[in-house]
Amino acid sequence: MTYKNLQDLLDAGVDGRHVLVRSDFNVPLNDAGEITDPGRITASLPTLKALIDGGAKVIVTAHLGRPEGEPNEKYSLKPVAEALSEELGQYVALAADVVGEDAHERANGLTEGEILLVENVRFDPRETSKNDAEREEFARQLAALAADDGAYVSDGFGVVHRAQASVYDVAKLLPAYAGTLVEKEIERLGKVASEPEHPYVVVLGGSKVSDKLGVIEALAEKADSLLIGGGMCYTFLVAQGYDVQKSLLQDDMVDTCKDLLEKYGEKIVLPVDLLAASEFDSSNAETRVVGLDGIPEGWLSTDIGPETVKKFAGILAESKTVFWNGPMGVFEQEAYAEGTRGVAQALIDATKNNGSFTVVGGGDSAAAVRTLGLDEDGFSHISTGGGASLELLEGKDLPGVSVLES
Ligand code: ADP
Ligand code: MG
């Protein structure tokens, strides 16, 4: 893959030029609308700082959550603008719209080294439209914000697997460059994708079952072991004939799981015990560690059990490469966080004791590492991308990257 990077843009000179940057600020928020993990904001700073220092007039586009194509205060980038101002030590203005009058006026008014964030690009339905012409029209309006000798920098790694207007179409309209975050992610994940040292272990969990079951086949071909926990595992357990009661289940994927077990059975490692809870909200729940056939009637499983953590940790201890995506349980509640914490610690130990190259991918997985108080530096790489990192490992084309290729 060859594309121009941020250094190429800086060498060409950015002083006084408009530079449109696509960042990934899709951070988790709590019910009060506060950012619970600023990891993606922190990861975007190197590119933004370099452009500011170079004297660019920086305009940043980003999305937050799924506002479904219309303005929604709940998904405003306001908390992001505040956090970014703090991190950069410089005021970051937030436009009231995406490509409207306010965004244009503010973009035109920028001076060297100033930075403007426009509102959530997903407030406009054209951002994610399947209709090429609609997306292209929106991309033209985004590009028009960078009227002054504009350039485009793609730095939102978490969205490069999407052919969306602010990621893909706009890159065709302006001289386009990969930002430092995108470049670093491609280099580190590329290493896992193309030359993983064996044993190569993939750990999968989380809740986006239907999204992720699709990648298992591709990963099973390449990996030596696939450890499955979190919301992913119950569909497999049902495929094996267990009753998972009210645990997360993707009914329509049970047959797919049966096929996967038949084909890759010796590579797929499922839990041997589970944490069962009488209800989802841990503050009122009764909990119990149970065997696979022991979830009490009407209960659900919210985490893997301690024997499973031991089993997974034993396999991870022998690994030379690990990719982990998806928490092992509902880690947001401390009572259900032990499985995720244990597996994360096993990755850290494998890095330290076995020289394993360990990569964490996925917004919630990365957030778990930080919020559970684990040592971020204990991993070889923490990716900001979930779907994007999985697709890269599968060997799929990432439209937001290939569009940058020259
Ligand atoms: P990532 O963002 O790392 O790719 P996902 O978005 O797929 O991960 O999944 C993260 C979510 O999965 C977390 O919010 C977590 O609470 C949830 N989860 C994990 N285990 C379970 C489970 N057993 N039941 C329900 N949800 C779960
Ligand atoms: Mg997630």
C-alpha distances in Å from residue 153, one per residue of 5, 52, 99, 200, 404: 8, 13, 18, 33, 9
For residues 31 and 159, what is the distance between their CA atoms, to the nearest angstrom? 24
8 A C-beta contact, residue 400 and residue 168: yes
Q: Is 361 in the pocket of ligand 1 (CB under 6 A)?
A: no
209 has pLDDT over 80: no
Strand partners, 115: 58, 92
pLDDT of residue 399: 97
Residue 221 backbone phi and psi in degrees, to 5: -65, -35
Q: Is 37 in the pocket of ligand 1 (CB under 6 A)?
A: no
221 has pLDDT over 80: yes
Nearest CA to ligand 1 atom 4: 362
| Between 334 and 210, the higher pLDDT residue | 334
pLDDT of residue 315: 98
Strand partners, 225: 201
208 has pLDDT over 80: no
**Least confident segment among 54-63, 159-168, 203-212, 354-363:** 203-212
Neighbours of 216 (CB within 10 A): 23
395 has pLDDT over 90: no
pLDDT of residue 116: 98
C-alpha distances in Å from residue 401, one per residue of 4, 60, 89, 154, 208: 11, 18, 30, 8, 24
Q: How far is the CA of 364 from the centre of ligand 1 (A)?
A: 7
Query: What per-residue string of b and e applies to 327-366 under the rule 16 or more CB within 10 Å gives b?
Result: bbbbbbbebbbbbbbbbbbbbbbbbeeeebbbbbbbbbbb
> If you average pLDDT over residues 288-296, what whole number do you get?
98
387 has pLDDT over 90: no
Mean pLDDT, the chain, rounded, equals 96
pLDDT of residue 100: 98
Q: How far is the CA of 184 from the centre of ligand 2 (A)?
A: 21
pLDDT of residue 232: 93
Burial class (CB within 10 angstroms; exposed 0-12, middle 13-18, buried 19+) of 304: buried
Which pTM does this prediction carry?
Answer: 0.88
Six-digit token string for 183: 């470049």
Neighbours of 263 (CB within 10 A): 13
Helix (H, G, I), strand (E, B) or coil at 31: coil
Strand partners, 275: 289, 303
For residues 204 and 187, what is the distance between their CA atoms, to the nearest angstrom? 22
Q: What is the DSSP string of 64-114?
A: -S--TTS--GGG-SHHHHHHHHHHHTS-EEE-SSSSSHHHHHHHHH--TT-
Query: What per-residue string of b and e applies to 85-107 under the rule 16 or more CB within 10 Å gives b?
Result: bebbeeebbbbebbbeebbbebb
Peptide bond preceding 196 in cis form (omega within 30 of 0): no
Burial class (CB within 10 angstroms; exposed 0-12, middle 13-18, buried 19+) of 232: buried
User: Which ligand does the CA of 323 lie closest to?
Assistant: 1
Same topology, domains 6-182 and 196-394? Answer is yes
CATH number among 1.10.3720.10, 3.40.50.1260, 3.30.70.330, 3.40.50.150, domain 6-182: 3.40.50.1260
Number of the ligand 1 atom closest to the C-alpha atom of 390 = 4
Q: Is 365 among the annotated ligand-binding positions?
A: yes
Q: Is 329 in the pocket of ligand 1 (CB under 6 A)?
A: yes
In the CATH scheme, what is the code of domain 196-394?
3.40.50.1260
Q: Is 231 in the pocket of ligand 1 (CB under 6 A)?
A: yes
8 A C-beta contact, residue 76 and residue 120: yes
Domain boundaries, the chain: 6-182, 196-394
Q: How far is the CA of 373 from the centre of ligand 1 (A)?
A: 18
pLDDT of residue 1: 64
Six-digit token string for 274: 């589970």
Six-digit token string for 111: 């001076």
